[in-house]
Structure 1
Amino acid sequence: MGNLRLEFIKDGYIKINTLLSSNEVNNLRTIYDELLLEKDKTRHLRSDLAGVEGSESRKIERITQIMRPSTVIPELLKTKAYKVALQWAKDLLGDDMELDFDMMINKAPHSKTETPWHQDAAYWIAMPDKRSASCWIALDEVYVENGCMWFVPKREGYAILPHKNLPNGGALYCDTPTDKAESIPLSPGGCTFHDGYTLHYSKGNCTDSQRRALILNFRPEKMIDLEREQGVDHLGERKQRV
């Protein structure tokens, strides 16, 4: 853990080959697929990070994001994924780390839509304690061709680059040098942790299968309280906050 903690602090991300067993992955896949199909209960939590394509009645989701899925299926919070990831967050950044929000991001087969380079902190309000850790859990075999994560080692400090929105309500993106970028293939149940200031990206899915990921975001409990006091519950409209 000591070396991984130092790596996380220095580079802004780490890879963990095995966070979950195959049984736990299968359990999460069942819940995940149920939520992907349940469009009524997830309507207020759901968006397409690639931007809307087609009319509202025939909208095609290319990168489906569902925020706070545990508000729809609370038993998610009792799964091993949430418990083990929280302990890792505490080991990396301190015992006051707690779950801020969870989300699902699925890249549909042959969607071929990139998730552009960005920093998560571009979505967040300014917080005096900047510690954060996002656990990106693979529920499928992930590799370059179906959209594994890429990271650029973090520069010193907590600078947020200028970001813009993709057209039609899509994700934030920024222009940045990527010559030092590293791709992180994962087996099902493997994960990465990254902080909010680390640049990351993934290619489109060019395969016949889904690329399902569960993301758990952790920060200090006092900063979660500050967010909630300011009305930030990660259920509303996605927008640049700083």
Structure 2
Amino acid sequence: MELREKFLSHGFTHLESLIVKDEVEELRVLYDYLLKDKKRTEGLRSDLSGGSGGPVEKITQIMRPSLIEPKLSKMNVYKQALNYAKLLLGSDMALDFDMLINKAPYTNTETPWHQDAAYWIKMPDKRAVSCWVALDDVYEANGCMWFIPKKKSTNILKHYAMPNKGALFCKTDTKEAQSIPLNSGGCTFHDGFTLHFSKGNSTNSRRRALILNFRPESMIVLEREQGVDHTGDREIRNKK
């Protein structure tokens, strides 16, 4: 099935290779620098697990990393991902926000099932695509992405908030769930209504991911007019 056709019918698809190994290595250097720098990332950093400040963040999320380290947005991965976003959903797609999500070795904490649209305000144009780029080889045991093929409807399930400003989650039937293992440099694409999840990292390896989120330029303007720039507290904005 062609990339765009699968994305539109299932709500997700993937590429075996989005960027070359040399760029993966460059990204890892910047990524690790930001992970270690808790001062510069303060206010944009949280533990999606809902952890309350233990010695190790189980699921580190850093929002808008390219605001802290502008070198990121100049890298080829941003251009490549945007090109595919336009291929999948139209020429008016633009970068809304980026983020880093890291699962440290042996933390073994899942990212629960959820729909990204639960985090977003209601918009008249619902087109959106998230590009999840693997910076390490990913597989089920260290936290590769899982998806449930989307139905024709675009309903948002009821979501709940984990404690301590952790991730949102919902309850769903997972019998049709599919895992997408990737080599580093590969990526997945999913839309805002597609249910997705990842297992915890139970291995001694890293699991670093860069996520780039795209939507129509006009909808980004609408978000910013309403004060949404993806740097504030995590909350349920788009309810069932």
Q: Decide: shared fold, TM above 0.5.
A: yes
User: Where does 1:89-168 land on structure 2 (aligned, <5 Å)?
Assistant: 89-168=85-164
Give, in whole Å, the separation in 1 of the partners of 2:36 and 2:151. Answer: 40
Q: What one-letter code is carried by the residue in structure 1 that aligns with 2:141?
A: E
Q: Does 1:38 align with 2:42?
A: no
Whole-angstrom distance in 1 between the partners of 2:138 and 2:172: 24
Amino acid across the alignment from 1:161: L
Tell me by how many angstroms 1:28 deviates: 0.3
Give the match for residue 236 of structure 2.
Answer: 240
Alignment gaps of 5+ in structure 2:
none
Contact 1:52–1:60 under 8 Å retained in 2:
no
Counterpart residue number, 1:173: 169
User: C-alpha separation between the residues in 2 aligned to 1:78 and 1:157?
Assistant: 37
CA distance in 1, matches of 2:21, 2:168: 33
Structure 2 letter corresponding to 1:197: F
Tell me how large the CA RMSD over aligned residues is.
Answer: 1.0
Higher helix share: 1
TM-score where L is the length of structure 1: 0.97
Matched, 1:76 2:82: no
Deviation at 1:41, TM superposition (A): 0.4
Is 1:186 matched with 2:182?
yes
What is the aligned partner in structure 2 of residue 7 from structure 1?
A: 6
Structure 1 stretches (4+) deviating beyond 4 angstroms?
none
Identity %: 61
| Deviation, structure 1 residue 12 | 0.3
Structure 2 CA distance for aligned equivalents of residues 46 and 167 of structure 1: 16
The SS at the match of 1:111 is coil
TM-score by length of 2: 0.97
Q: Which residue of 1 aligns with 2:19?
A: 20
Please give the alpha-carbon distance, in whole angstroms, between the structure 1 residues aligned to 2:78 and 2:44: 20
Opposite residue 46 of structure 2, the aligned amino acid is S
Q: Is the 8 A contact 2:165 2:233 kept in 1?
A: no
